[in-house]
């Protein structure tokens, strides 16, 4: 199963709904299993720089099949540094992205930037929960 545009939009919409509840402005990126952008949305009051953070965190999350918060703890590890360099420096090892699993396989990720690290992660979790 792959992540469809329809499902990616559901994820993004739910992440934004959570951001509205929190009273923050976010950028949300949903990527496919190969880390390629499917959907990107930026709230009107979101900082423009968050678009890079949301995408970079989503790419890292899908590449390793784990939350970007887990990767943040090991960001200085030489292996992660080397992989990020070889991949083109797109990955960001910071809290705020979660992978999307179906049938035990990583099919995408949702990355958020604009709030605190915890708020970003909470929005990503809410987005993915919208898939059921």
For the chain, the structural domain boundaries read 5-129
pLDDT of the residue at 64: 96
Q: Could you tell me the pTM of the whole model?
A: 0.95
Q: Is the pLDDT of residue 56 over 90?
A: yes
CATH 3.30.450.150, domain 5-129, yes or no: yes
Average pLDDT over residues 33-48: 96
Q: Is the pLDDT of residue 1 over 80?
A: no
Q: Is the pLDDT of residue 73 over 90?
A: no
pLDDT of the residue at 42: 97
Q: Is the pLDDT of residue 132 over 90?
A: no
Q: Is the pLDDT of residue 3 over 90?
A: yes
Average pLDDT over residues 36-65: 96
The pairs formed by 117-122 with CB atoms below 8 angstroms and a separation of 24 or more are: 117/69, 117/72, 119/19, 119/22, 119/24, 119/26, 120/26, 120/53, 120/54, 120/57, 120/95, 120/96, 121/67, 121/68, 121/69, 121/95, 121/96, 121/97, 122/18, 122/22
* Average pLDDT, rounded, for the chain: 96
């Amino acid at each position: 199963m792959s992540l469809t545009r329809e499902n990616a939009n559901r994820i993004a919409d739910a992440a934004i709904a959570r951001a509205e509840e929190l009273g923050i402005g976010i950028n949300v990126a949903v990527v496919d299993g190969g880390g390629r952008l499917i959907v990107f949305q930026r709230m009107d009051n979101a900082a423009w720089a968050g678009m890079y953070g949301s995408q970079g965190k989503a790419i890292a999350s899908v590449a390793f099949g784990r939350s970007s918060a887990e990767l943040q703890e090991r960001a200085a590890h030489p292996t992660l540094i080397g992989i990020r360099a070889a991949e083109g420096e797109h990955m960001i090892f910071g809290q705020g992205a979660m992978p999307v699993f179906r049938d035990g396989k990583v099919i995408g990720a949702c990355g958020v930037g604009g709030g605190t690290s915890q708020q970003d992660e909470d929005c990503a979790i809410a987005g993915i929960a919208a898939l059921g």
